Amino acid sequence: AQSVTQLGSHVSVSEGALVLLRCNYSSSVPPYLFWYVQYPNQGLQLLLKYTSAATLVKGINGFEAEFKKSETSFHLTKPSAHMSDAAEYFCAVSEASYDKVIFGPGTSLSVIP
């Protein structure tokens, strides 16, 4: 069965510092992987996705994630945090099935001036 874990329910970084949000998944088949961002009082918005092409995926707002099959990980990074990056981030996995997308519990990112 699919599952997603996100290490750290809350992460704080200084403005300009590296952002690293961790995601590990379990899947019995090659998965599709996603990162979504949720700004306060809004719905989720797709940041980036992995669909078995390049293992390093670039998304919007300077974020990128690397698929590492050996580690079953899909960590999200950004070289330099901006105040506007403060939000909730969700990792999600799908086993190539349109109806079964499993979301992780989320990581709240705070950016300190």
Partner 1 sequence: NAGVTQTPKFRILKIGQSMTLQCTQDMNHNYMYWYRQDPGMGLKLIYYSVGAGITDKGEVPNGYNVSRSTTEDFPLRLELAAPSQTSVYFCASSPGLAGVGAYEQYFGPGTRLTVT
Percent helix, strand and coil across the chain, each to the nearest 5: 10, 50, 40
- For residue 99, state whether it binds partner 1 (rule: CB under 8 A): yes
Pick from 7, 17, 86, 101 the residue near partner 1 by CB under 8 A.
101
Q: What is the 3-state secondary structure (H, E, C) of 21-75?
A: ECCEEECCCCCEEEEEEECCCCCEEEEEEECCCCCEEECHHHCEEEEEHHHCEEE
Of the candidate residues 11, 13, 25, 34, the single one contacting partner 1 (CB under 8 A): 34
Shortest CB 15 distance to partner 1, Å: 26
Distance of closest approach, residue 102 Cβ to partner 1, in angstroms: 9
**Residues in touch with partner 1 (CB under 8 A):** 9, 32, 34, 36, 41-46, 49, 51, 90, 94, 96, 98-99, 101, 103-106
